[in-house]
Chains A and B, each alone.
Chain A
Amino acid sequence: MSMVEVEILVTLSAAAITLALFSYLWRENLAFRIAEHAYIGSAVGYGALITAEGAKRVLMPKLEKGEYIWLLTVLVGLLYLGFFARKWFFLYRYPISIVMASGMGVYIARGVKTNLIGHALNTIMIKDWQTALLAVGVICGLFYFYSTAEHKGPMVYMSKVGRWFLMAAFGAQMGLHVMARTSLVIGRIRFLLFEYPAYYLIPVAFILVAAGIVWDYMKKK
């Protein structure tokens, strides 16, 4: 197959997958199921290869330098498979403990510095009434999460004000995300409408959906 033919096939397949996944908006159907399983399968394959490549990229330079102690990581990694043995199932805890602890350790100091103390510092630097209001919001919001006492007396009001600020954050997040997500739909629709030969599949999809709706209607009757 020539390059052009391969490219056309890739585009056609991409358009088919796109339309089939969009068809979930109508309802769960056979085309969606097929696309879903093909997508999951190839994503698992690709993801596993990328993971393997990442691991090899870390491992190989060390082995080339003659640091054979790094083969130990392979052994520890293989302990995951101990899970299949009834007697040695607990071996999976060794690799998990290392992975988990290094992730936790990397996060904790940076998290406390930037996300806790850093934000506290930025909050108390009050310049005008807006930043003062912001500080009130942060303090009340933190009160909302105070969980070892029933909220009574002044705490009720503080946590209520805190809730308002949390609600404002939710609203803003949803409002801002509309734009980002709509851009993605625009990208997909543009692909379907203007990319050769993707647009040939649109009428096919319409016919299939129409047939499906008629089929549903007949069955109901």
Chain B
Amino acid sequence: MSVVARRYIPWMFVVVVFTIVAIDTIAVDETIHRWASDLISASTVIGAFAVLLSIVMLSRLHIRRILRRRTVLESSILLICMWITLIWGGVRFFIFGISPTIEPVVQNLFYAITAPGDATMFSILAFFIASAAYRAFRLRNTDAGILIAVAIIAMLAKAPIGEAIFGKGIIAISDFCLNVGAKAGRRVFMMAMVLAVIALDVRILLGYERGWMGRGAEEG
């Protein structure tokens, strides 16, 4: 019983759901289409519950840190911000039916903390690209030479200053680099990725890949 419930039933779920959803994308069939779209909707609902688990774990982690007198300030800030949003937004949503996307308090908190946080961390990438370029763009060999040359040409062609210095020629060179070199590279990645996914799906469907089952390995 236990091995069946622990390993075989989830595995069977994978095979059945995968087959139905995959066939739906390639074949025209009313029934399968209905099943597949129902399964996808169901997986949206089911997947949402994982958040519950993680909220419990995160709260536990930070409450422990506070109790052990480590990072008391930071952990309490985190817990306060999280639970104010959750409780206020949750009550307003589940009891009053007001969506968090229009709830004023939740929205104000979002625009006061989360939105600027998103934008700032995203923009910090500009500095990191500069420092990564400085550190890594060294003409060590042919490979690095190609990388640097294409990167500099692309940068010059994008910023107005490139055209101001080198004229229209730089745009033509950059178009060549992007349309031939970069496009070929990107295509290779896409194609190689799909090939890898086929192999991965086969391993999962045949039950060889047990990583997603956690402890599956030793239960045979």
Contacts and interface: CB of A to CB of B under 8 A. Distances in A.
A172 B150 contact: yes
A50 B100 CA distance: 7
Interface string B184-203: 11111111111101100100
Contacts of A109: 22, 25-26
B68 to A, nearest CB: 16
Contact of A172 (B51, B117, B126, B177): B177
B132 to A, nearest CB: 8
Interface in A40-98: 40-56, 58-59, 62, 70, 73-74, 76-78, 80-81, 83-84, 90, 92-98
A142 interface: yes
B67 interface: no
Given A42-B81, A177-B129, A169 B212 contact: no
B19 A105 contact: yes
A21 B121 contact: yes
Given A39-B113, A48-B86, A115 B194 contact: yes
Interface of B is mostly: helix
B171 interface: no
Interface of B: 5-6, 9-11, 13-22, 24-26, 36, 39-53, 55-56, 58, 73-75, 77-86, 89-90, 93-94, 99-101, 106, 108-117, 119-127, 129-130, 132-133, 142-144, 146-155, 158-159, 176-195, 197-198, 201, 204, 212-215
A103 interface: yes
Contacts of A141: 184-185, 187-188, 192
Contact count band on A: 35 or more
B181 A120 contact: no
A59 B15 CA distance: 25
B126 A185 contact: yes
A44 to B, nearest CB: 5
Given A44-B85, A138-B191, 18 more contacts: A10-B108, A40-B78, A40-B82, A45-B82, A52-B93, A99-B50, A102-B21, A134-B183, A134-B184, A137-B184, A141-B188, A167-B146, A169-B189, A171-B151, A175-B151, A175-B155, A178-B158, A184-B119
